[in-house]
Structure 1
């Protein structure tokens, strides 16, 4: 009774085998790449372009005064601390005046002694003139009396100057603020000894006005040629992520800084700080606007970097000239590729202002809406196919 089932089982096995082969073939041999788009393109647009150059800098008060001491002594009292608002001539700190006061008293005693010597010399000179007139004293004795009087006057002047110096030093035991502002640094404590033997030690630092600050930034020599006083700048700080602050370039300093063969120039940027949000010492990430264009034809920079596999590396200067694109100052040579009947067609360009993502098309056979190739999407293409080939700067 089982014999009639044998042909049916055999037929079922054959059908199952054929279906498995078909499924394996579909899995092992997928649809050809040629049926899917090979290149990614982007359309050429018109719009605004803003070119900036970037650098890091440090926020500083416009005027930062370091307050020191001209005399030595032990700190007895401190009248100002961090963040205190102080006025001009306000006492910030007092030194123990004992030694300086003793010197001032000694100088005052020397002045009194010199005055007594002067009085004696004056009386002696008057008496000697009378004796000389009556021929009881010689001319030499008179001249000696006159010389002693002059020396007494000079000695009095010397001791008075020394006394004035010591009185001034006594006043210097009270350290006063030279300006009105905010104390941003205090580097001394009660009981410490201030030694002013060789140079005035810094005791306080006072910012004159924190509502106006400046950024001291260092720009590379390749960018400095585009920066001018009066240009607008924007910057961010880590304390307020996502918030943009505005500034204006005040000065490009001519003194270069060279570190490991890298030359930079200090650019000073003025910043308004009415809310006192920005604090001294903050790191600022600065962008200076060097050029702005509106309603220009712009091409993606990715398209300028794209090079197809096996593209010949020719001299773009000569090829551009052959295409009738004259050399212009302030522009870059480059080229892009478009699809013409499914094939790549190279179009040479002159490009100008760039914001890092798009570049201005100064001259070339491109128009708004043209699709330029930005990427080869084939998975098997070599990594070197899209090696960046940036435009060459014209000399």
Structure 2
């Protein structure tokens, strides 16, 4: 071969490689790699104590003393304030004097009753000896009855006066205000020397709150409230917390919304322990309700996926196009822990065998979003144990390759979400169907169809834009966020 031919062949090969390299460098790509994903509902909330009480005055008068300050720790039964009680004390003294006078009058009437009863007996004895008249006996009986009625009236008056005196004594006690619960004084709304009027409404003097447990009241839009469920994980951050997360679980969602500027918002409440008192009242919280999450899974940016809307997977109990015949016995014999998880999530089992199939079919699987975190983790562990990190778990999905497999799942279970990814290979860009699990607005979990280390196309590079290598990387990390933005899958 002449040198000229060798030079021409080398030039042609170099031109071919250069054109292929330029074609590949015109794409924006991201690396398929492992990471954590969180599908969250975000909301803004306010912090407030879970348990608090407004301490008010039950009697009118001048507020003479306030014995605590804002921030003071108080115990139940501790004296907090004193109100001038001169009028209440005078009324108690007057009621006691009136009560003593009524009791003295009652004693006098009881003496008169005893005399009237003796006169009545004497008149009856005289009448038996015909020494008096019937009229005199009747007058004596009338005197006895009248005296008894007066005594009953005095007894009722004494009971009424005694009840009034108890009220005045209670008001005298109310002049000293005690703490109804243990906690922290968070606000004082009255001032020493202020005159309080309790006749119209009970005036509030101060508020005591238990700051050891705080309640977050988050306002969730009507578009997202249907995704919440009681008991789901939730965390929040506060301004100035340095990214620290406070973890909790959703306690309840109030059914009555609040409408602000024609925006319908529902209050979602949950409690969080506050042993160090770092959380305070009226703090603003950025709340994240975790709808689904996955840790240590294959991830790619959502920009590299095209979700297939309305794509239906095969039903349970039927093999794939390249798989073998379906059979309940085959499905039951080859069922695996992953299949049992799928059965528990969907409510039934249907075997799908792929015996001797050249390309092995892909059976159905339950809706990934409907599985609990424990069920998802079991499916992922099975997939890793079978050495098929990029593929579906055996048993739950069906066989792959020339071996036999079995699928478990309900015939009515929702199919897995399907998507199409453009994979950059040595031969060029290939479209590949993938299965998507948990996804956020930024990244998605890949259940099958991609392998760790592959590159997916996320966009077309504009003319004149620097290449990835020139930009100082050439390794667009899957799910990487722009500068200044939190990483995907929630704040870290």
Question: Within 5 Å, which residues of 2 pair with 1:139-150?
Answer: 139-150=141-152
Does the CA-based 8 Å contact 1:60-1:281 persist in structure 2? Answer: yes
Q: 2:452 aligns with which of 352, 363, 368?
A: 368
Question: Within 5 Å, which residues of 2 pair with 1:243-282?
Answer: 244-249=244-249, 251-259=251-259, 260-271=262-273, 273-282=274-283
**Structure 1 match to 2:187:** 185
Cα distance change, pair 250–288 in 1 and its aligned pair in 2 (3 A): closer
Does the CA-based 8 Å contact 2:109-2:150 persist in structure 1? Answer: yes
1:11-48 deviation line (CA, Å, top 9, x unaligned):
xxxxxxxxxxxxxxxxxxxxxxx778322011222343
Does the CA-based 8 Å contact 1:76-1:190 persist in structure 2? Answer: yes
The SS at the match of 2:304 is helix
**Structure 1 match to 2:400:** none
The SS at the match of 2:70 is coil
| Aligned-residue RMSD, C-alpha | 3.3
Structure with more strand by fraction: 1
Cα distance change, pair 207–316 in 1 and its aligned pair in 2 (3 A): closer
**Structure 1 match to 2:153:** 151
Number of positions where the alignment pairs a residue of Structure 1 with one of Structure 2:
338
**Structure 2 match to 1:317:** 310
Does the CA-based 8 Å contact 1:256-1:266 persist in structure 2? Answer: no
Instruction: Structure 2: state its 5+ residue gaps.
Output: 1-21, 124-135, 315-319, 322-361, 370-415, 465-492
* Structure 1 position 357, deviation (Å): 2.7
CA distance in 1, matches of 2:193, 2:53: 24
Does the CA-based 8 Å contact 2:250-2:268 persist in structure 1? Answer: no
**Structure 2 match to 1:216:** 217
Question: Within 5 Å, which residues of 2 pair with 1:349-364?
Answer: 349-363=434-448
**Structure 1 match to 2:122:** 134
* Structure 1 position 129, deviation (Å): 1.6
Higher relative contact order (CA 8 A, sep 6+): 1
Does the CA-based 8 Å contact 2:196-2:203 persist in structure 1? Answer: yes
Cα distance change, pair 141–61 in 1 and its aligned pair in 2 (3 A): same
The SS at the match of 1:369 is coil
Instruction: Structure 1: state its 5+ residue gaps.
Output: 1-33, 307-314, 381-395
Tell me the TM-score normalised to structure 2 length: 0.61
CA distance in 2, matches of 1:80, 1:279: 19
1:231-277 deviation line (CA, Å, top 9, x unaligned):
443322113233x1323225113433141252423221323x23222
1:271-322 deviation line (CA, Å, top 9, x unaligned):
3x2322222221121223333323433221222379xxxxxxxx83258889
1:207-229 deviation line (CA, Å, top 9, x unaligned):
23x23323222334554455455
**Structure 1 match to 2:59:** 71
* Structure 1 position 159, deviation (Å): 0.2
* Structure 1 position 51, deviation (Å): 3.2
* Structure 1 position 326, deviation (Å): 5.9
Question: Within 5 Å, which residues of 2 pair with 1:1-395?
Answer: 37-135=25-123, 136=136, 137-208=139-210, 210-242=211-243, 244-249=244-249, 251-259=251-259, 260-271=262-273, 273-304=274-305, 316-317=309-310, 329=367, 330=369, 332-339=417-424, 345-363=430-448, 365-379=449-463
Q: Which moved more, 1:340-349 or 1:159-168?
A: 340-349
Tell me the TM-score normalised to structure 1 length: 0.75
1:129-152 deviation line (CA, Å, top 9, x unaligned):
222222353433322221111111
CA distance in 2, matches of 1:80, 1:280: 19
